[in-house]
Chain A
Amino acid sequence: SQTIHQWPATLVQPVGSPLSLECTVEGTSNPNLYWYRQAAGRGLQLLFYSVGIGQISSEVPQNLSASRPQDRQFILSSKKLLLSDSGFYLCAWKRGGESYEQYFGPGTRLTVT
């Protein structure tokens, strides 16, 4: 069966500090991978998605970036965090192709102080 991991679970970082969140998927190959952010009481905002190694599509221009160095690894980064970067970050995967559901990791709650 497939499993998706995210870490860390919670993170408190000062403004201006760097960020690295990691997501890995087990039990499948060549998945589509997604990074979302969810503000408190709000819906999901798609940040980045990837259909293969080294292929990243950005949905929202901001101070975040994403990389996919391996087939089942997806990394979200920032060089300098802003207060507005606080939120619940969710990684998700789905089988490559058309209409398949997305499965979410447990999420990282980031607070920028």
Chain B
Amino acid sequence: GQNIDQPTEMTATEGAIVQINCTYQTSGFNGLFWYQQHAGEAPTFLSYNVLDGLEEKGRFSSFLSRSKGYSYLLLKELQMKDSASYLCAAQDSNYQLIWGAGTKLIIKP
């Protein structure tokens, strides 16, 4: 079957670094997406990885290892506004997204 696993909740301190992990099992693989979702709002696109390695976008970076079925989202210099849920989604062979349940990130001052 198809499955995405990510931690339910994480807590970090303002100004610190946090890494949110995601493991996936899909029928075929055509890339891994990360989305941010603030409470009560729609998800917004953060990053897309299809090749192994690290993609950096400002304070956010995303890593993919296809052989391990593993990705992480790295957030640096955490700000209070980064408090949100982070959704991992893998694209299968039919280009449909398989979504994880999301990781709720709590930032403490």
Contact = CB atoms under 8 A, between A and B. Distances in A.
Given A49-B96, A98-B30, A101-B33, A43 B102 contact: yes
Contacts of A109: 40
A90 interface: yes
A46 B97 contact: yes
A45 to B, nearest CB: 8
Nearest to B8: A41
B48 A43 contact: no
A107 B95 contact: no
A97 to B, nearest CB: 8
Given A42-B101, A43-B101, A44-B87, A99 B95 contact: yes
B95 A101 contact: no
Contacts of A49: 96
Given A43-B101, A49-B96, A101 B45 contact: yes
Contacts of B23: none
B99 A99 contact: no
Nearest to A107: B42
B43 interface: yes
B50 interface: yes
Nearest to A45: B99
A7 interface: no
B1 to A, nearest CB: 14
B19 to A, nearest CB: 20
Interface in A40-97: 41-46, 49, 90
Contacts of B87: 43-44
Interface of B: 4, 30-31, 33, 40-45, 48, 50, 87, 89, 91, 95-97, 99-102, 104
